[in-house]
Amino acid sequence: MTEKSSYYISKSTRNKETAIKGLEYQVKMMWPDEKEKLMQFGLQDGSKIFEPGNGPGFITKKLLELYPNSHVTAVEIDPMMIELQKEVLAGFENRYFTKLGSVYDTGLPENEYDVAIVRLLLQHLPETEKIIAEFYRVLKPSGKLIIIDVDDGVGMAKIENLTPEERDFDRMIHQKFQVFQSKEGGNRFISRYLPKMLLKVGFMNVKIDSIISHTDLLDEERKNLYLMFFEDNPYIKDHLTTGVINQEEYNKLMEIQDKIKNFEDKGMVFIVFITSGEK
């Protein structure tokens, strides 16, 4: 079972261990802010939660801990991810079920779930509107769709004293990443298109908000996680492996990363968007 995607780890040439490490880093960095936003939606403990594309299950575990009387049903296309979930979700076996399948056609019953929580998934897939229509189908009347995803136009801002040439180079490299993801079926600017898609599918009360993390406002542990992730970004080496960047570009990028590490007043702003609607 395959479909076009810019993030199908077991079928890609990416380093599998590095990719999983990156996903785990993301959750450790972002979950406290995501948790705060999710709680604002008033989701009741005991709700039936649908989590499409749940990967290794890092967020599934957080949801099960946050809502101890809820059950999570997931659909994941990558068998390797489902295998990893057995370790990550040990002890929660009776409270989650992950079906091997596609988010385009989940095969799940309609009008079944109280909420669908979709985290950093849609940026990797084409024909997003079809996927949103499937989410609409499986939600109960008045069920909520909550999508957390990126928009590279405003998604991340490093605070550093790079030269104009270094900034231009960094921007050029990230444009290469965006083009690569686009060719593989993804869209690094997906969040700006989601409100219109939700309205077109039939969702009501559509809203868009942001989750903003600034390293100067975090506790020391989370601040260090952010800085470690972006100073030693596990995805950059993957892009060398897949041929998105060449060795010369990689070396130059590493020089810039080393320079950033030595800044006394280093920090960053990280922004993702949360788009929601009600059936």
More confident residue, 89 or 173: 89
Within a domain: 131: yes
* Mean pLDDT for all residues in the chain: 88
Within a domain: 190: yes
Which pLDDT band holds residue 17 (cuts at 50, 70, 90)?
A: confident
CATH number at residue 239: 3.40.50.150
Give the closest residue to 259 by CA, choosing from 165, 187, 126, 176: 165
Pick the range with the lowest mean pLDDT from 1-5, 129-133, 271-275. Answer: 1-5
Within a domain: 31: yes
Per-residue pLDDT at 157 exceeds 70: no
Per-residue pLDDT at 2 exceeds 60: no
pLDDT, tens digit, 9 for 90 and up, residues 211-270: 988 888 888 888 887 777 766 666 677 788 778 899 999 899 888 878 877 777 777 788
More confident residue, 259 or 153: 259
Taking a C-beta distance cutoff of 8 angstroms, is the pair 149, 52 a contact?
no
Which pLDDT score, from 0 to 100, does residue 7 have?
Answer: 58
- The CA distance from 95 to 73, in Å, is 9
Q: Give CA separation, 123 vs 141, 151, 208, 227, 244, in Å.
A: 26, 9, 16, 23, 18
Give the closest residue to 194 by CA, choosing from 137, 125, 138: 125
Q: Which residues are paired to 115 by β-bridges? A: 49, 144
Taking a C-beta distance cutoff of 8 angstroms, is the pair 49, 61 a contact?
no
Within a domain: 3: no
Residue 273, domain extent: 9-278
Per-residue pLDDT at 9 exceeds 60: no
Query: In the chain, how many domains are there?
Result: 1
Within a domain: 2: no
- The CA distance from 124 to 53, in Å, is 11
- The CA distance from 185 to 163, in Å, is 33
Within a domain: 264: yes
pLDDT, tens digit, 9 for 90 and up, residues 66-101: 999 999 999 999 999 999 999 999 999 999 999 999
Within a domain: 274: yes
Q: Which residues are paired to 49 by β-bridges? A: 72, 115
